[in-house]
Amino acid sequence: MTRTVIRGGLVITAAEEVAADVLIEGEQVVALAATGSWVAEGWSAERVIDASGKYVIPGGVDAHTHMELPFGGTAASDTFETGTRAAAWGGTTTIVDFAVQSVGRSLREGLDAWQAKAEGNCAIDYAFHMIMSDVTENSLKEMDLLVDEGVTSFKLFMAYPGVFYSDDGKILRAMQQGADNGGLVMMHAENGIAIDVLVEQALAAGRTDPRYHGEVRHELLEAEATHRAIRLAEVAGSPLYVVHVSSESALAELAAARDRGLNVFGETCPQYLFLSTDNLAEPAFEGAKYVCSTPLRPEEHQVALWRGLRTNDLQVVSTDHCPFCFSGQKELGRGDFSKIPNGLPGVENRMDLLHQAVVEGRISRRRWVEIAAATPARMFGLYPRKGTIAPGSDADIVVYDPNATQTMSAATHHMNVDYSAYEGLVVRGKAATVLSRGTVVVEGDTYLGRAGHGRYQARATCQYLI
């Protein structure tokens, strides 16, 4: 069993910042001791990583990715192999991706298909949520089985009629089942029926540019759906996790529900914190690069979302990583914004963008680790194996250089996509060394990982329920 010591860094978890050395045996952390102490000095190891002047943080947990997702006649351009490798480069060591149930098929068939795509291909550890596209007597029963075997969260859609959409009755049934079996319902909260009317009207009036994607997916239709999802969960007595919250009014619904003591949680994504409708309005169809749903909002919403992260009305930042190349994929929507595949790349950028928020004084260092690693791990039943640095935890660790400077660019990123949503953005901070279960997978500018190192993670239920 290989022994590794990480010496001289500032260990930052959601709870503490301590000057400590970290001892790893095999795949796990076994001890922390004060740097320079008799105990720490006494540790001998085959490998010593010098972390002086650097942070030692738990590897990022990205609880929302869509590798290889089929969408709008094409598929997300990152495979499990390329996407998890890019994640590792960016200091993320666990992803929770979404297996998809197709209409007319069982949950099991969808899960098996996604397990087959991922198995043997991932550079880092991975787990699955289940997208329920077809709530039936049978799929409701299947939910119980999936919870028992470690797929403990189920995403439903109030948007995308004819594809993923569930009506309120189906949503209520899935929530009731979740209330019984401990499964957490995740909601894409946008009123898709109303949005489709606005899409039709916009196209008929010749408003076909990418920026109209943001207009028809009206903020109030996100807020309305968020409110409805909360009330349905309240009726069912179930917890609720709202994915990719992008607007101030939707956030207000979450805050009000939490103030009433409900088990309602919210996630936002870097694109809503760093980008806006100005990007969607970029000329020459460049706006298509920023088409995702929920859509980017006017800049003032960013302020509200940062506040929500500080006040804990939002608890998690995930990426909703779902990349499509500009050339050949985003271009499917030239002349009709509704045909632009929805999604942005980001799995490699999340940890660094959020660190930049630390640099700018928007959040603290511990809050950075909390929203990007600890809370997603707790929310989805992976803690303390993931999301912290403690005896018994997996040695998923990033030695992070807070003083490095990098320029985000498609020319240098590792995601399999021909553009960066943050092209030219200069940020401070970069992963120097990344360990996944005790194995160094990234060292400086060298990738040392391999496809198949990543292991499937069965999950417990949400650890926040009261």
What's the closest the beta carbon of residue 66 comes to Zn ion, in angstroms? 6
Residue 62 in the binding site for Zn ion (CB under 5 A)? no
Which one of 264-272, 315-323, 358-366, 403-411 is the stretch in contact with Zn ion (CB under 5 A)?
315-323
Chain residue whose CB lies nearest Zn ion: 320
Residue 224 in the binding site for Zn ion (CB under 5 A)? no
Nearer to Zn ion, 28 or 153 (CB): 153
Q: ∠ at Cα 351 (368, 308), nearest 5°?
A: 45
Nearer to Zn ion, 55 or 71 (CB): 71
Which one of 143-151, 319-327, 332-340, 401-409 is the stretch in contact with Zn ion (CB under 5 A)?
319-327
Selection from 325, 335, 355 nearest residue 421 by Cα: 325
Which single residue is written with the structure tokens 């990234």? Answer: 442
User: Which amino acid appears at position 367 of this protein?
Assistant: R
Which one of 54-62, 130-138, 272-280, 312-320 is the stretch in contact with Zn ion (CB under 5 A)?
312-320
CA distance 249 to 252: 5
Which single residue is written with the structure tokens 């009206």? Answer: 218
For residues 238-260, b (16+ Cβ closer than 10 Å) or e, as one string?
A: bbbbbbbbbbbbbbbbbbebbee
Nearer to Zn ion, 182 or 343 (CB): 343
Q: Is the four-CA dihedral 71, 75, 81, 84 of positive or negative sign?
A: negative
Which one of 141-149, 191-199, 226-234, 313-321 is the stretch in contact with Zn ion (CB under 5 A)?
313-321
Residue 78 in the binding site for Zn ion (CB under 5 A)? no
Residue 320 in the binding site for Zn ion (CB under 5 A)? yes
CA distance 420 to 173: 40
What's the closest the beta carbon of residue 320 comes to Zn ion, in angstroms? 4
- Parallel/antiparallel/unpaired status of strands 125-131 and 92-100: parallel
What's the closest the beta carbon of residue 404 comes to Zn ion, in angstroms? 30
What's the closest the beta carbon of residue 64 comes to Zn ion, in angstroms? 6
Residue 190 in the binding site for Zn ion (CB under 5 A)? no
Residue 348 in the binding site for Zn ion (CB under 5 A)? no
Which single residue is written with the structure tokens 């995403």? Answer: 155
| Residue pair 23/366 in contact by the 8 Å Cβ criterion | no
What's the closest the beta carbon of residue 345 comes to Zn ion, in angstroms? 13
Which one of 7-15, 201-209, 253-261, 320-328 is the stretch in contact with Zn ion (CB under 5 A)?
320-328
Whether the bond between 294 and the residue before it is cis, its omega within 30 degrees of 0, is yes
Enumerate binding residues for Zn ion (CB under 5 A). 320
